[in-house]
Structures are given as C-alpha cells and as structure tokens.
Amino acid sequence: MKVGYARVSTGLQNLDLQEDSLKNTGCEKVFVDKISGVKKKREGLRAALEFVRSGDTLVVWRLDRLGRNMQELIQIVNDLNEKGISFFSLQENITMDKKNSTGQLMFHLFAAFAEFERNLILERSAAGREAARARGRLGGRPERFTQKDLDMLQMLVSNGTPIKDIAAMWNVSRTTIYRYIDKLSSLNKG
C-alpha cells in the first residue's frame, strides 16, 4: 500500500498540490501537517509512521516535506527500512529501500542539499533582520493605531465608553485596546 505524507509550514499555505500529486501516484491514505518542519511534534507524520506496515511505501511530494535536516531525514528513512517499509519522494524521483543502493546514495545527496538550502534561508533571514536593525527598524508588526487614533482612544476611555464598544469601532480585540491603554498610561507617566 502507498501511504502519503504532506506538509506545509503554516496554516495559511495550501496542501492541494501535494495531496493531489500523492493521490495521483496511488496513495490510498494521505496524512497531513500544517506546521513547520523544524517542529518536533508533527501529529500527521507521527500518525503516518504508525500507520505504515512492512511492504508499504511512504510517499512524500518532496524530501523537505518529511524533515528539514539531514539527520532527521536519514533517521526516519532508516527506521522505515528496518521495518521493511519503502520510501519514495516524488519531486526528486527517489525510491529508497534496503535493496536500492543508488536510491540510498541519491537520498543522502538530496537530504544534504535540502539541509543546505534550509541553512541558506536561515542565514539570509538573519542577515535581512540585521540589515533592517542597522536601518533602525526593530521588526514586528507596524503599530495599528496612529497618534490620532490614540488621542481618540484616550478621549473615549476618559468618557467611560465601554472597552468592547471601542474594540468594535476599530474592529480589534479588547486585548488590543487594553494594550494601547497601558501604553498610553505609561506615556502619560513619563
């Protein structure tokens, strides 16, 4: 039996491409995660690994969907091999089982490249954040409220307008309003 595993890094990303490819390849069951590959606790992967049996093949759309570092990929595939379970990656066209030494070599090469790519992304992101800090940008979301909004907020709070009504006016949570009220009170003290 072919069993698929698909993963995207965030809940905002779409699994359709991966799931369609896995089903078109003949996967009878597909497990999914919407979580970063660097996270240890991936329930979909755990369930897929518990589901597959000797003689089955675990199929992924691309190697980096299974894991982001070479050590983890190798460990998972070696565990599968010990249980008599094959592994196949669609994009890299790698079949990995105990009998396929070429597949094992290709797997290790692609795993190394996947880890290298991940490290490059991390380095570029860190360099970008450092360059932004050097230009005075601290990161994070831009402030939601302008000074005019803060003045209005202060006036509404002083007049006793309920927080839930204020939050509804700006279409934000009450927590956001309380955070800005705290910010205003600390500014007024200083």
Q: Which residues contact 9 (CB under 8 A, 6 or more apart)?
A: 34, 35, 36, 37
**Is residue 26 in a domain?**
yes
Residue after which a domain boundary falls, among 103, 120, 137: 120
How many CB atoms lie under 10 A from the CB of residue 62?
Answer: 16
Radius of gyration of the chain (CA): 25
Q: 98 by DSSP, 3-state: which?
A: coil
- Find out whether 3 and 28 touch, Cβ atoms under 8 Å: yes
Which amino acid makes up residue 82? E
* pLDDT cut 90: percent of the chain above it: 37
Question: Domain residues for 73?
Answer: 2-120
* The model scores a pTM over 0.75: no
Same domain, 84 and 159: no
pLDDT of residue 10: 74
Same domain, 94 and 183: no
pLDDT of residue 53: 96
pLDDT of residue 5: 96
**Is residue 140 in a domain?**
no
pLDDT of residue 31: 96
pLDDT of residue 135: 85
9 is catalytic: yes
- Find out whether 43 and 69 touch, Cβ atoms under 8 Å: no
Same domain, 15 and 96: yes
**Is residue 79 in a domain?**
yes
pLDDT of residue 37: 62
Task: State phi, psi for 146 to the nearest 5 degrees.
Answer: -85, 175
pLDDT in tens, 74-87: 888 888 988 989 99
**Is residue 142 in a domain?**
no
Same domain, 107 and 160: no
Same domain, 160 and 113: no
Residue after which a domain boundary falls, among 104, 120, 136: 120
Same domain, 88 and 152: no
Which amino acid makes up residue 170? W
- Find out whether 73 and 111 touch, Cβ atoms under 8 Å: yes
**Is residue 141 in a domain?**
no
pLDDT of residue 39: 65
**58 has which bridge partners?**
3, 87
CATH number at 175 reads 1.10.10
CA–CA dist 119, 77 (Å, integer)? 21
Is the dihedral angle over the CA atoms 147, 150, 155, 158 positive or is it negative?
negative
Catalytic residue among 9, 89, 125, 185: 9
CATH number at 23 reads 3.40.50.1390
**Is residue 185 in a domain?**
yes
Q: How many domains does the chain have?
A: 2
Same domain, 15 and 66: yes
**Is residue 12 in a domain?**
yes
Residue after which a domain boundary falls, among 78, 103, 120: 120
Same domain, 95 and 19: yes
**Which residues of the chain, if any, have pLDDT below 70?**
11-12, 37-39, 68, 98, 103, 189-190
pLDDT in tens, 171-183: 889 998 998 888 8
